[in-house]
Structure 1
């Protein structure tokens, strides 16, 4: 009897497990909108509190505020953009209106100014009490100290003036209209009490980091005149004083305070917003004094002739308040438009010239940048000198607000603007003497990343031509080759394009520029900029020995000292090349790194944050089967999970991810990823989708959220719906990108077919952009694939070579000669390479049904490339469909279009790979008249 009971119990457990599995359902399109993820994590300075948003892809999210040690949780529906007060006693956040409320307002065609607005919530962390304020425009709280908050809200509507009647004269009506003022209601609140003060018709405000004062601009009227001014409100004395006001000033803007809240700056102009050219003066005020100083205007001697402060660059003080940085530019010219002629009488022509440094489409894309271009200048508060740093020939300057460097690094791209169409990335480097603004050339035609050291002693750059880190010491006017003679490579060892290789980068600098820390593929090197000390492998070769790529974990706040302290314990992020696991390592100079945690998860390095005044941390980790969760850490041995997003997978068929390897037809060892459905059965044959884009094997443990497609398949959706998904890495050689893709992808597919669980007769491929090109190429070379979906393809490299990337206005030449397309020469140098790698020239070979997507506002791959391939296949009577989403770019941005693409793409694959019925849009097409049918069904 006991044996019978035991047998029945075992059968019950087995049946329960099978029933539980059978009750799971596959992902569907309805799951997308509600799928939640963590965003915008913030720690209080003492580490006691953490806030984070949990938001669905579409719908109303929530802000969670937790004190993990006290097990306290406060939820603010639709909260976002949260900030803790400096003393960690309050949290301030915005609150969105309900999504449905906004939707109904849009349906009712509500005017923009009448649309539902955000609210502001102030949360008392001790009591949990909340205060809410509506019609929010913006808010600010002090970074360093103080409990006063500044909040701008929409001005309440004035009551209708019933005294106006039809008998009033035009002059009186005009006078009344003149009194109508613009601006917001600025309210200053004490978060700890009920004190508040408000000011009407405020245009702009700036709150000091120390929380001691706020300055603002506002409009006021007297009789029939409108005048403006800059004002200061001091929280301690509760007094307001006028800093600047004039009946001649039309606009005040760009208010700024130094970190101590003791100095202020603003800009003023007598010109109205309708003026063709607005001239600005930059005004400085020591708030302990009673007079203003005009730092710069159109007649300032320190500026070049006909230059003035630029309204498009907000002034900013150095951290110690000794320098005031601002932008200056030539005063613009009035409009050249001929106002004596009608618009239809004017010609409309762009003149393209071989002498243009930038192509006309690039100039058009950069029109706003060109109109608003300005150049860094600074005002020395002590000497009262204005010193230009940049100019039209050397436009880029690296500014370090933390330290008042004696020398700054300047860059000029101007000599290489024309050649950037086919060889981008070149620049000349200059030293700028900060006290005079004089510059001197230190390196010509640099190709590679460059920067100034934090203290301004050195300029450092990676020379991609000879793959060395080089440094210029301005005190000795010396060029030094920092990594010459070292036995490791500091450039990308897996580089496979015709261009020069990038560097692995700089980890940082130690105090006072004593050492620079540089990455090789695995380890971190400490190098003395003077080369008096020999370079040292800081991590003692541990990374290369263990094949783990090590990176410093950047957890400092933006205003913290950027220097790396080698005497302290530091945290490193690592990814192991073999099994692709990631983890955290602790490390002190003079010792090997020690593993703190290494798991089959992806620890997101950008998610790590540290409380400013405590050893408290937060981070995120996840893998393919487990959504990214947020963790709170006081003890690294016991991280505390704050979220349970894994619960979203309950009742849903999911899957697994694994690494696979094979040898290509050319004898190259390759890696890839294979995603399998839940409860994978190796004796069953599964349909398979193949997706590719460069290399993806290192993303083995990355979580992929179910989401509608911007351009590619959603792997969780496909696996949940019983597809295998294979993602192979592709290794390239110069000049044969199509053949390289064929060798790597087809060999990997056949290797999986040989394992017995892939249905060879039902394999599909999908790629977007560069992957779309490879899809188009593959179906001209093999009939292995039953169906193919290709997005934003280049079909004809000969016509694409001389085309324009409309998103930037750049010529596409560089892409073929130097970067991703990997031809390695011009069209006239290697014409056969361009033809042999172009799918269009082999369109007659295609026997695979193709679904294409190419959008009519694609800024990366010209739309006509998709048209060329579609019309060729149509002429050849091949089964081909092309989806063109109107006014959409390279990848879809509008969610309805993303949902539409997802439905059609999976219907296409389900039909060909699972024998699902062909939907009507494929069998019958869709006329232009049916395009506007909002209730279009996909049957």
Structure 2
């Protein structure tokens, strides 16, 4: 793979620079998307990539002070090794090892896998093999090959990256990378090795071969092999396997080996008859897919020294999560409390001793919401949210403690307004030795002490209407750490802050509290932080294409990279946050985008895009593009002379459609009273739940000249009684987004009153419908129903069905097609454009 050096020069401004006007479709291809990747350990280098729809992507590495840069065409999977080396993969399968200080580059071809060892001092490359494995190469900092191991198919680094376990010609060995020699040959017999897993301290590892499991203790230099024939409790006709739900693992103490077991699936003779019984726990399609839970791999545990084995999961408890330390496992059966009528049943959680197999029920009929339960970093506690409080369960003492009753604070999400149970924002993390757990309320972060001492609110977001959230360590640094999930309060915390108009980052320390890093009226995100305090983050607004900014302190910062610099050559729109009230007096916001080249003396058409709450998008940059999975693009529309409005909607349970109508019309009226928008040229656009809202709104008002509705519901009754993803669809109405709050049979009139199909006769608005005929979220027959109703009523309507597409269009040709058609539809109805051929009726 070739690379080249770029020296960024500060160009002088061009006098008399000509603005070309709004961007056109032919120029969309000039726009790229920047991705922030990694900051080197001491903040001298930053990697980022720029992706184009043409596929001509480039990975860059730039010095944060001199701006010296390296570019890797088609580069991906880039990583820093120490401070002066960078490695990445090319489009041809090769690997580039770049010396950032000297500029020297080595390229290695036909590489199937790579990793960095010895804390960045060595690059390990596995070359492609021809069935028998390839050479594993160790590359030193000077680019020279210092280690060659032939015929390798599998390798794994120890946790400290100083040792390597690998097979060579089918024989498993351990190599000390510091001295570059084999220290242990595990087995003289050649085997087909599939997986390797290290003990957390690196003193042993387990391996998976074709059909069995082995364990090797480095301290004892002793190998143990699992023999299924010695254990009558090993499931008959089952196979040892590697699976994401039952991973190969060694316990922290090295005494237990966990691995996956795949049972034989039962043979079912086809009868040609499906039996659906209302007393069944789950619907027939889901039951048939489970095959008595045999399709899900189970977890077994083996005690090599004791030569004992037992199953951790089985058909009774098919789901598990090992607690840190692996002494305990949390078990459940997600369908035990079926049948019920929410999307998922409540859960009975059992705690199992992984050594004895004894289990006890610790939470009964508990919420299936994973934000309401969390396991401590050392595995001593389980925190859970119940009865509007955070509780703590002590695993060892089998006792419970309420952590929040004395605070007087609600920890539910106040902005969540769907039907069903209240939501929480969850757990931020646990401190060292499980002394504290940090949890969120709607705005703030609370420190709850596990010994029952008074809670402490770390932030003051509620007063400022600012939401503070913890930035996890692995999100801002690439450094490996054995306790990366543990919070060290003495080192401080990195927090993200977001309000209605601002965003940014703060640090929190016990001594100083909150200290601002960056917080401004732009969208700030993607922070990376080095060991010496250098930070890099992205900055954007609708009128500002994303920048990469490096900051050394609060007063010293600069732009490291400006994406899409060509934007300055074109007229571009801008945005603002509007405020309005619905008929209930609730204050809401909306994101309003102005046409490119806006002239206050002119009158413009406007497209209103709706869903639930969308005002957060007001400061997000949007590339113009034809590749839109919903056919909607803000920048396309503003470039074509449209205002675009994204209003927030607040809901009243049982009045879902009416709430959308109320809030959307209030937002539109606010814009009409203050902006140069032509009230006779308003368009409405919605997809999914927004498609439903669009369908409903046009049955109640003629405010909109035209509308486009994608994958939307039309009939609450038929949709309630449909099957989606092997589940009854009614949960969406009783417990979730459709916000009915009651069953169809306890609120039949509500369902009628919120169904667009009920009022189809009142529609005067031409509407374009579209859906994918493989939609797993909203049955495309909802669109067909609406189309047939409008056809019978002789209302103007066109339905587009995209073959093989799901809820959002994924095929490029379909994305382009839909984008063109939505554009032509709005141009025809809102601008008086030419009627496209596809709107003409057939002439059969």
Provide TM-score, normalisation by structure 2. 0.90
Q: Which residue of 2 aligns with 1:848?
A: 765
- After superposition, what is the alpha-carbon deviation per residue over 1:375-421, rounded to whole angstroms, capped at 9, x for unaligned? 34444577665464444333333335xx52654444442313432x5
Q: Which residue of 2 aligns with 1:587?
A: 508
Does residue 602 of structure 2 align to residue 684 of structure 1? Answer: yes
**Residues in 1 aligned to 2:227 and 2:753: alpha-carbon distance in whole angstroms:** 61
Does residue 215 of structure 2 align to residue 256 of structure 1? Answer: no
- Whether the 8 Å CA contact 1:254–1:315 is kept in 2: the answer is no
C-alpha distance 788-481 of structure 1, shift in aligned 2 (>3 A): same
**Residues in 2 aligned to 1:297 and 1:46: alpha-carbon distance in whole angstroms:** 51
Q: Which residue of 1 aligns with 2:633?
A: 714
C-alpha distance 472-210 of structure 1, shift in aligned 2 (>3 A): closer
With 439-448 and 34-43 compared, the bigger mean Cα shift is at: 34-43
Deviation at 1:288, TM superposition (A): 5.9
Does residue 703 of structure 2 align to residue 780 of structure 1? Answer: no
Q: Which residue of 2 aligns with 1:26?
A: 22
- Whether the 8 Å CA contact 1:215–1:232 is kept in 2: the answer is yes
Q: Which residue of 1 aligns with 2:487?
A: 564
With 481-490 and 492-501 compared, the bigger mean Cα shift is at: 481-490
Does residue 635 of structure 2 align to residue 732 of structure 1? Answer: no
Q: Which residue of 2 aligns with 1:394?
A: 317
Q: Secondary structure at the match of 2:136?
A: strand
- After superposition, what is the alpha-carbon deviation per residue over 1:531-570, rounded to whole angstroms, capped at 9, x for unaligned? 2x2222223xx22222211122223456444232333343
Q: Which residue of 2 aligns with 1:936?
A: none
**Residues in 1 aligned to 2:536 and 2:305: alpha-carbon distance in whole angstroms:** 43
Q: Which residue of 2 aligns with 1:165?
A: none
C-alpha distance 678-650 of structure 1, shift in aligned 2 (>3 A): same
**Residues in 2 aligned to 1:347 and 1:431: alpha-carbon distance in whole angstroms:** 41
- After superposition, what is the alpha-carbon deviation per residue over 1:134-186, rounded to whole angstroms, capped at 9, x for unaligned? 3333323337355141323254xxxxxxxxxxxxxxxxxxxxxxxxxx25423
Does residue 254 of structure 2 align to residue 322 of structure 1? Answer: yes
**Residues in 2 aligned to 1:896 and 1:489: alpha-carbon distance in whole angstroms:** 49
Q: Secondary structure at the match of 1:700?
A: helix
Deviation at 1:738, TM superposition (A): 0.6
Deviation at 1:795, TM superposition (A): 0.9
C-alpha distance 185-363 of structure 1, shift in aligned 2 (>3 A): farther
C-alpha distance 31-811 of structure 1, shift in aligned 2 (>3 A): farther
- Whether the 8 Å CA contact 2:412–2:422 is kept in 1: the answer is yes
Structure 2 unaligned segments of length 5 or more: list them: 1-13
Deviation at 1:802, TM superposition (A): 1.7
Structure 1 unaligned segments of length 5 or more: list them: 1-15, 98-117, 156-181, 220-227, 270-279, 339-345, 928-939
The partner residue of 1:205 within 155, 158, 180 is: 155
- Whether the 8 Å CA contact 1:322–1:380 is kept in 2: the answer is no
C-alpha distance 917-233 of structure 1, shift in aligned 2 (>3 A): same
C-alpha distance 828-456 of structure 1, shift in aligned 2 (>3 A): same
- Whether the 8 Å CA contact 1:296–1:308 is kept in 2: the answer is no
Q: Which residue of 1 aligns with 2:34?
A: 38
The partner residue of 1:195 within 125, 133, 145 is: 145
Deviation at 1:36, TM superposition (A): 1.4
The 5 A counterparts of 1:266-665 are: 266-269=207-210, 280-287=211-218, 291-295=222-226, 297=228, 299-300=230-231, 309-313=240-244, 315-317=247-249, 322=254, 325-329=257-261, 331-333=263-265, 336=267, 348-363=272-287, 371-379=294-302, 386=309, 388-399=311-322, 403-404=324-325, 406-419=327-340, 421-424=341-344, 426-447=346-367, 448=369, 449-463=372-386, 466-531=387-452, 533-539=453-459, 542-556=460-474, 559=481, 560-577=483-500, 580-589=501-510, 592-604=513-525, 607-611=526-530, 613-665=531-583
Q: Which residue of 2 aligns with 1:113?
A: none
The 5 A counterparts of 1:797-808 are: 797-805=716-724, 808=725
- Whether the 8 Å CA contact 1:34–1:59 is kept in 2: the answer is no
Q: Which residue of 2 aligns with 1:669?
A: 587
After superposition, the CA RMSD in angstroms is 3.1
The 5 A counterparts of 1:66-105 are: 66-85=62-81, 87-97=82-92
Deviation at 1:91, TM superposition (A): 1.9
Q: Which residue of 2 aligns with 1:142?
A: 117
- Whether the 8 Å CA contact 1:187–1:196 is kept in 2: the answer is no
**Residues in 1 aligned to 2:467 and 2:180: alpha-carbon distance in whole angstroms:** 56
Provide TM-score, normalisation by structure 1. 0.81
**Residues in 1 aligned to 2:517 and 2:42: alpha-carbon distance in whole angstroms:** 24
C-alpha distance 218-925 of structure 1, shift in aligned 2 (>3 A): farther
**Residues in 2 aligned to 1:197 and 1:473: alpha-carbon distance in whole angstroms:** 49
Q: Secondary structure at the match of 1:840?
A: helix
Deviation at 1:790, TM superposition (A): 0.2
**Residues in 2 aligned to 1:196 and 1:300: alpha-carbon distance in whole angstroms:** 45
Q: Secondary structure at the match of 1:428?
A: strand
C-alpha distance 263-399 of structure 1, shift in aligned 2 (>3 A): same
C-alpha distance 846-184 of structure 1, shift in aligned 2 (>3 A): farther
**Residues in 1 aligned to 2:174 and 2:842: alpha-carbon distance in whole angstroms:** 66
Q: Which residue of 2 aligns with 1:341?
A: none
Q: Secondary structure at the match of 1:526?
A: strand
The partner residue of 1:125 within 79, 96, 100 is: 100
Q: Which residue of 1 aligns with 2:186?
A: 243
Does residue 671 of structure 2 align to residue 752 of structure 1? Answer: yes
**Residues in 2 aligned to 1:653 and 1:546: alpha-carbon distance in whole angstroms:** 36
- Whether the 8 Å CA contact 1:34–1:58 is kept in 2: the answer is no
Aligned residues: 819
**Residues in 2 aligned to 1:317 and 1:146: alpha-carbon distance in whole angstroms:** 27
C-alpha distance 635-625 of structure 1, shift in aligned 2 (>3 A): same
The partner residue of 1:877 within 794, 805, 818 is: 794
**Residues in 1 aligned to 2:307 and 2:65: alpha-carbon distance in whole angstroms:** 52
- Whether the 8 Å CA contact 1:317–1:323 is kept in 2: the answer is no
**Residues in 2 aligned to 1:428 and 1:631: alpha-carbon distance in whole angstroms:** 48
Q: Secondary structure at the match of 1:69?
A: coil
- Whether the 8 Å CA contact 2:503–2:523 is kept in 1: the answer is yes
Deviation at 1:858, TM superposition (A): 0.6
Deviation at 1:318, TM superposition (A): 5.3
Q: Which residue of 1 aligns with 2:127?
A: 152
Structure showing greater Rg: 1
